[in-house]
């Protein structure tokens, strides 16, 4: 997550210091607290979004408006699933 995601989803940088995406805690809150996703749903939805980000799939409407849609990127095989599992299981 540090290598692949924190470049944009930095947990500490303020927006004015260059953070260009919502912090992962905010994504977690949106997906789990608001949508009520369980672990399998959370992982599935994060994977689906990262594999092919679209406005239809995006739930972080404010972030999409402010920063634009997350660019489609290629991450090493299996890494997004591991990252999503980590995000779900641990307090980040
Ligand atoms: C090049 C910058 C960049 C990188 C690197 C990046 N993201 Fe994003 N991401 C964004 C931006 C910008 C948004 C907010 C706009 C949006 O939701 O599309 C976002 C939003 C998201 C969302 C919420 C989507 C929604 O709106 O429901 C998820 C989930 C996500 N990113 C996962 C990841 C994961 C996992 C990684 C690392 C494997 C990652 N991102 C790496 C820029 C990035």
Each residue's pLDDT tens digit, 16-50: 777 799 999 999 999 999 999 999 999 999 999 99
pTM: 0.96
Label residue 72 by pLDDT band (50, 70, 90): very high
Helices (H), 1-92: 24-28, 39-51, 61-67, 79-89
Report residues whose beta carbon is within 6 angstroms of any ligand 1 atom.
4-5, 7-9, 20-22, 27, 46, 49-50, 53, 58-60, 63-64, 67, 69-71, 75, 80, 83
Ligand 1 pocket, mutate which of 1, 6, 7, 8 (most atoms under 8 A from CB): 8
């Amino acid at each position: 997550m540090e290598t692949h995601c924190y470049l944009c989803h930095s947990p500490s940088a303020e927006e004015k210091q260059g953070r260009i995406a919502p912090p992962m805690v905010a994504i977690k809150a949106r997906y789990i607290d608001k949508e009520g996703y369980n672990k399998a749903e959370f992982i599935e939805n994060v994977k689906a979004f990262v594999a092919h980000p679209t406005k239809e799939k995006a739930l972080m409407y404010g972030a999409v408006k402010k920063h634009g849609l997350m660019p489609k990127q290629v991450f090493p095989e299996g890494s997004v699933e591991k990252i999503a599992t980590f995000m779900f299981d641990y307090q980040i």
